[in-house]
Amino acid sequence: MKHPYLLFSAIICFSLGLLSLVAHAASDYSDLNKAVSQFLATMDQLSKDVPETQDAEGAAKVIEAWAGANVAVATAMQDFLQKNPNEMKLAKPPPEFAAAYAALSQLRVKYASLIDGTITLGKRFRGDIRVSMAMRSFRNSLDVVKKMEAPDLVAAGNIFRELGAVETAMDLWAIEHNKKPGDLPKPEDLVPYFKAGTRLHECAERGLIFDSLGNPIVIPSVGTRPSVSSQTFNALSTVAPVDFWKPYTIR
């Protein structure tokens, strides 16, 4: 059996991605919150059932229940992203998802004993065909969970926020130094306006700014927004088409 920590890592990574979410009037979190609540309820029930399981039939039952919960929550998360890809752009978590995110972030701590207990059951009854089939279902469910991480969409959201950080730095530089439209800052000029220790701060200190894919972010003149590099756009266009990047353009 793949280690259940892989499941929690995938779900937590996705939830961190959801920190990029911001509530829009058109966004509906009800199905996502419902799926997370059902997942957590199943985990709570398994925490009670696993220690009491003493035979192969019971072991197969709890492992299958966990597998089903994995698939259900992963599917709900994937559906949400497909319907709301723009929700990956901004950094403030929506109030609608705050409680669910807080609960998901505690998975490893809260369910550590469940992980150990399930592994023990899998080893104890591994010779039983029912348990073997349940373990196969569990492994398959981990594959479904892994797919929900949507790394390209998360990367697009990160780069969108990087463009916003560059634009904000330019605005602050222009205000503090009484610059006018058309004035062109150097990357070094923007260093004070990036958070110290961040990648953008370090890039600006070196005189060049790159996005998180390693492609250049060209600093435009005051009054003009930075652009998405064509290399980045091409790499992410399957999940982030032109409309995703608005108000930024492709260069």
Helix (H, G, I), strand (E, B) or coil at 30: helix
Q: Is the dihedral of CA 212, 213, 217, 223 positive or negative?
A: negative
- Kindly report the backbone phi and psi dihedral angles of residue 250, in degrees, each rounded to the nearest multiple of 5, phi listed first: -100, 135
Residue 25 predicted with pLDDT over 90: no
Query: Please, are residues 165 and 204 in contact by the beta-carbon 8 Å criterion?
Result: no
Q: What pLDDT does residue 53 have? A: 96
| CB under 8 A, 24+ apart: contacts of 94-101 | 94/21, 94/22, 94/23, 94/27, 94/29, 95/23, 96/23, 96/27, 96/29, 96/33, 97/18, 97/21, 97/29, 97/32, 97/33, 99/33, 100/32, 100/33, 100/36, 100/37, 101/15, 101/18, 101/19
Q: What pLDDT does residue 3 have? A: 52
- Full 3-state SS string of 151-206: HHHHHHHHHHHHHHHHHHHHHHHHHHCCCCCCCCCCHHHHHHHCCCCCHHHHHHHH
Angle at 194 between CA 190 and CA 199, to 5 degrees: 110
**Which conformational region is residue 198 in: left (phi greater than 0), alpha (psi within -120 to 50 degrees), or beta?**
beta
pLDDT tens sequence across 176-206: 999 999 999 999 999 999 999 999 999 999 9
pLDDT category at 17 given cuts 50, 70, 90 is very low
Query: Please, are residues 204 and 191 in contact by the beta-carbon 8 Å criterion?
Result: yes
pLDDT tens sequence across 115-133: 889 889 988 998 999 999 9
pLDDT tens sequence across 40-75: 999 999 999 999 999 999 999 999 999 999 899 888
Q: Which of 23, 125, 141, 138 is closest to 75 using CA atoms?
A: 141
**pTM for this entry:** 0.63
Q: What pLDDT does residue 167 have? A: 95
